[in-house]
């Protein structure tokens, strides 16, 4: 019987069409499957903690796979071999043995994202942040962010025709932090819908520019209508996934 493993990776999403395998497209999952199969000398198919869209980054991403290869019990040598073959845009950080019913997606307790906004033109930040010119009312943006913790139905921030069974999500934390030249929005929830964080950020920016009032924001959520727009992918970074097993 094969043993199940969790593999923790980081990736820069700029040159990938997201995590999930797609026909005629370079994806993180496809690249990882190929290199794992080569190193372990057996066909490996990974299952990821979720989908990340084209251009979205992950400091912390988890997938699981099943294998008969006992070398995996010495993860340091395997990790070295994997990283020597992988694209420079992907790195394997850890591999741990888990039980057969542990699942990278369905066993996740929470996920945390950051969205980075640059207040100045910075060539070193262009792949990892969205440059915005002009003043933003951070207090109003944080007022709206606090309201998210009392919302359950996120239809207003969902991508149409995404084939999900429910738009219910439970947000436990949402806040904007101002670091002068950079703004960082941090949001933690049990699950996220496709494009949800980027849609929230786009709406928050309109609030920060006084183009949407807080009262309008509340109304649009209640009526499940959309008031904002989707922020660019490059500013979004998956920073943590929590499980009952320790994968740090």
Helices within 111-176 (DSSP H only): 138-148
| Placement of tokens 């080569």 in the chain | 38
Which of 53, 137, 178, 190 is flagged as catalytic? 53
**C-alpha distances in angstroms, 169 versus 16, 57, 80, 172, 239?**
27, 22, 38, 10, 18
Q: What is the DSSP letter of 165?
A: S
The CA radius of gyration of the chain, in Å to the nearest whole number, is 19
Pairing between β-strand 57-67 and β-strand 236-242 as defined by DSSP bridges: parallel
With beta carbons less than 8 A apart as the criterion, state whether 85 and 11 touch: no
The SS3 of residue 90 is: strand
Beta strands in the chain (DSSP E): 3-11, 47-48, 57-67, 90-98, 110-118, 130-131, 171-178, 182-189, 236-242
Does residue 224 come out as left (phi exceeding 0), alpha (psi in the -120 to 50 range) or beta?
A: left
Do 193 and 173 touch, CB atoms closer than 8 A?
no
Active site includes 153? no
What does the alpha-carbon distance between residue 236 and residue 226 come to, in Å, rounded to a whole number?
A: 20
Catalytic residues: 53
């Amino acid at each position: 019987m094969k043993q199940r493993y969790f593999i923790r990776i980081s990736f820069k999403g700029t040159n990938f069409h997201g995590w999930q395998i797609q026909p005629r497209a370079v994806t993180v999952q496809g690249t990882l499957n190929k290199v794992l199969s080569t190193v372990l000398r057996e066909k490996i198919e990974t299952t990821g903690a979720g989908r990340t869209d084209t251009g979205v980054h992950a400091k912390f991403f988890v997938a699981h796979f099943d294998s008969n290869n006992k070398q995996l019990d010495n993860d340091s040598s395997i990790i070295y071999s994997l990283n020597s073959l992988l694209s420079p845009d992907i790195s394997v950080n850890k591999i741990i043995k888990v039980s057969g019913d542990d699942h990278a997606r369905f066993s996740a307790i929470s996920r945390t994202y950051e969205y980075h906004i640059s207040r100045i033109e910075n060539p070193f930040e262009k792949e990892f942040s969205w440059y915005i010119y002009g003043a933003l009312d951070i207090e109003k943006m944080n007022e709206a962010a606090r309201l998210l913790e009392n919302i359950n139905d996120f239809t207003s921030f969902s991508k149409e025709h995404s084939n999900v069974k429910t738009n219910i999500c439970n947000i436990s934390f949402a806040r904007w932090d101002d670091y002068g030249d950079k703004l960082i929005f941090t949001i933690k929830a049990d699950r996220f819908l496709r494009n949800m964080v980027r849609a929230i950020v786009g709406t928050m920016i309109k609030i920060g520019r006084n183009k949407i009032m807080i009262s309008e924001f509340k109304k649009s959520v209640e009526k499940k209508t959309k008031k904002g727009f989707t922020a660019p992918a490059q500013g979004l970074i998956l920073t943590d996934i929590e499980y009952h097993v320790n994968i740090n």
